[in-house]
Amino acid sequence: MRRWWRIWASALLAAMAMHAPVQAEDGYDLWLRYQPLPEAQRVAVAPYAHSVVAEERGSDGTIAIAAGEIERGLAGLVGPSDEAAPGSGHVVLIGTAAAPSIAALDLPLTTLGEDGFVIRSVARGGKHMIVVAANRPVGVLYGAFALLRRLQTGADVTAFDLRETPRVALRLLNHWDNLDRTVERGYAGQSIWDWWKLPDYADPRYTDYARANASIGINGAVLNNVNARPDSLTGPWIAKAAKVADVLRPYGIKVYLSARWSAPVELNETATADPLDPAVATWWKAKANEIYRAIPDFGGFLVKANSEGQPGPQDYKRSHADGANMLAAAVAPHGGIVMWRAFVYSQVDPEDRAKQAYSEFKPLDGAFADNVVLQVKNGPIDFQPREPFHPLFGAMPKTPLMIEFQITKEYLGFATHLAYLAPMWEEALGADTYAKGKGSTVAKVVDGSLERHRLTGMAGVANIGSDRNWSGSTFDQANWYAFGRLAWDHALSSEAIAREWAAQTFAPDPAVVDPVVAMMLESRQAVVDYMTPLGLAHLMATGHHYGPGPWVSDLARPEWNPVYYHRADREGIGFDRTASGSNAVAQYAPPVARRFADRSRVGDDYLLWFHHVGWDERMASGRSLWAELVHRYDRGVASVADMQARWAALEPRIDDARFEQVTRFLAIQRQEATWWRDASIAYFADVSKRPLPEGVRPPAHDLDHYKAISHPFAPGHH
Ligand code: GCV
């Protein structure tokens, strides 16, 4: 019945759209769908739809894109209608102060910086104007997208008085894309970069990619994997990157490259990669010059050095600062930067892995060149479903620190599990480092306001691939969106971002937005509960990190084994990081260290991250730790069931294709959450020798069954 109704409705809509073919909703349009607004608002917006004035349109490509976007957006939001008669005295006026009509309005542009914009409703001389103005064309483009976003989320066209500037300067995607188009930790198909056909052919998708990124304020892309190959620095590959840069440039997006430390040696052009060897410095200078000849606005290098087998300056007994500064000198004359990753741990260092980055980098505070920024993951281990904030935040006042989030869900169920990540990022950004007393949040370290740093940024490991829906699933698009929005303004709440996204991606209807947002907001905690509750971490199966493997104990390096992280035995579970254990707590400022070290104040979320707790100890809930752990696993599975129920009720309001896919993916998530729960309970029951709490469903199989499961071809692992 429903299907017949839909066919009829589709036919009607097609007729209304003047015989345009009906498009299936395959997710390609992301949050830029520009569907007709609710009637009252549609009528208010319609008069503006045919009169976008952009005096710089002919002279500036970015302004032309902004004007075109507003026209395209308004046409969609208004739909076919009569109200939009040209000359009705309603105008959208956009531009920089170089445009005479903008200059005449005398708007307060001086404090907007390079990327900010104003949007104003102005009634003057019988005209009703919506004005979008900025200092640079890219600001106008950001303003154009902000205008369209606001219109889709209920803004009053006559009352715009908006001023926005981004909180950090570098808002970057990091692609872990390999040159053969595989993507490390990628779950959305192949790499979007079709290197083989570049530079002669640039897929039109690159333009759509640029547009989507500009719509959320992203202004840089590191094109290749941090586990880099030297080839990407050779002439042919520079030409390919230059072609991509040409496409991204009008959208305000700069290209960056990951650099392999040993590239000059591997390319047989130097005898060593010692950063203090003049021949090495000369090679990098020449390489930088070559890149800048091809890409005049090249952003700079991202470097993973002396980490997980990657080469680095320590191979020559030089420090990370020696390495970073040598590269920084090569790009400095061109205005480039070096983003040096702090994600390091060593196979020969027996120290708690969570402590190693701090131990290595903290002593280097103040030793880095001005155009170096350290890129630090949000937590001290590796993008787990929940980690405390990284202790380097607040600990290196003389060094700019950008934060690295992982948008792709390596440890949170790949593309099929619904996990909206903004609450996790909000948690990290809102954490108080106490570096300069109360209120010294990670966000203030990252946006430079705590120590007045100018070089500020956020990086997100991209979840974008060749899949038609870009990110592998509809809800994973929300993570790309949320990353951009938070990088633009970390004060936005994860709920507000979810609301914007849901309204644009599905419909601006509370009957859709409310349940979708409720699902999104419960989703990340659900994953924490069924995978790594109560501060547990890194219990995923080996290598690909798909599914549970808490029993794994036979890998070469201790910190690759889940048993290293949970330390469960007959008596209890958890990693003692207090003074009686690894004392990782001491890497935090004293008030934070005291709280984390105090069993009664640390809270359930980080309990087993910092403490080894007896199975029978009482929790705040009144349950024993063992009973609480089991309760959390059950709660996680129950949350997925809850999301399924909410989604099922949305069937009449969501298009068929996306509805069906989300339904199927939630079913997979339910099945896998149950697998996680059962396997984990079977294992920990075996280790603890505790019986299941009363009334709890026993795992469907015995432990050996779960241990025998293997997935040799899981995606994202190469
Ligand atoms: C790019 C984790 C991932 C690796 C990744 C690494 C990193 O260890 O599993 O695939 O490598 O982080 O961030 O460098």
Task: Print the SS3 string covering 505-554.
Answer: HCCCCHHHHHHHHHHHHHHHHHHHHHHCHHHCCCCECCCCCCCECCCCCC
CA distances (Å), origin 627, targets 276, 385, 683, 693:
57, 21, 14, 6
Is 55 labeled as catalytic in the residue annotation? no
Distance CA(96)–CA(101), nearest Å, equals 9
Distance CA(202)–CA(192), nearest Å, equals 11
Rg of the chain over all Cα atoms, to the nearest angstrom: 26
The pLDDT of residue 711: 95
Q: Which CATH architecture has domain 24-164?
A: 2-Layer Sandwich (3.30)
Ligand 1 and 153: CB distance under 6 A? no
* 229 burial via Cβ count (<10 Å: 0-12, 13-18, 19+): middle
Averages of pLDDT over each 10 residues, the chain, 718 residues: 42 41 80 96 94 97 98 95 68 97 95 97 93 98 98 94 98 98 98 98 98 99 98 98 98 99 98 98 98 99 96 98 98 98 89 97 98 98 98 98 98 98 98 98 98 98 98 98 98 98 97 98 98 98 96 92 97 98 98 98 98 98 98 98 98 97 98 98 98 98 98 92
Mutate which of 175, 378, 382 for ligand 1? The one with the most ligand atoms within 8 Å of its CB, which is 382
In the chain, which residues fall in CATH 3.90.1330.10? 529-575+612-708
Question: Which of ligand 1's atoms lies nearest the C-alpha of 304?
Answer: 14
In the chain, which residues fall in CATH 3.20.20.80? 170-505
The pLDDT of residue 349: 84
Cis previous bond, 199, omega within 30: yes
Q: Give the homologous superfamily in CATH for domain 529-575+612-708.
A: Alpha-glucuronidase, C-terminal domain (3.90.1330.10)
Residue (of 616, 522, 534) closest to 571 by Cα position? 616
Residue (of 164, 186, 33) closest to 111 by Cα position? 164
C-alpha 708 to ligand 1 mean position (Å): 25
Beta bridge partners of 457: 170
Question: Which of ligand 1's atoms lies nearest the C-alpha of 461?
Answer: 13
**pTM, rounded to two decimals:** 0.96
The pLDDT of residue 8: 44
The pLDDT of residue 86: 58
The pLDDT of residue 83: 58
In the chain, which residues fall in CATH 3.30.379.10? 24-164
Say how many residues make up the chain: 718
Q: Give the homologous superfamily in CATH for domain 170-505.
A: Glycosidases (3.20.20.80)
The pLDDT of residue 82: 58
697 phi and psi, to 5 degrees? -70, 130
> Catalytic residue among 203, 269, 308, 642, which?
308
Question: Which of ligand 1's atoms lies nearest the C-alpha of 410?
Answer: 9
Ligand 1 and 382: CB distance under 6 A? yes
pLDDT in tens, 452-511: 999 999 999 999 999 999 999 999 999 999 999 999 999 999 999 999 999 999 999 999
Mutate which of 185, 191, 310, 390 for ligand 1? The one with the most ligand atoms within 8 Å of its CB, which is 185
C-alpha 362 to ligand 1 mean position (Å): 22
C-alpha angle 666/672/677, rounded to 5°?
Answer: 125
Contact present, 459 and 405 (Cβ < 8 Å):
yes
Closest protein CA for atom 13 of ligand 1: 343
C-alpha 185 to ligand 1 mean position (Å): 8
C-alpha 403 to ligand 1 mean position (Å): 15
Contact present, 359 and 386 (Cβ < 8 Å):
no
Ligand 1 and 171: CB distance under 6 A? no
Closest protein CA for atom 11 of ligand 1: 227
Residue (of 522, 517, 530, 415) closest to 474 by Cα position? 415
Is 382 labeled as catalytic in the residue annotation? yes
577 phi and psi, to 5 degrees? -110, 20
DSSP track, 229-277: -GGGGSHHHHHHHHHHHHHHGGGT-EEEEE--TTHHHHTTS-S---TTS
Greatest pairwise CA separation for the chain in angstroms = 82
C-alpha 176 to ligand 1 mean position (Å): 9
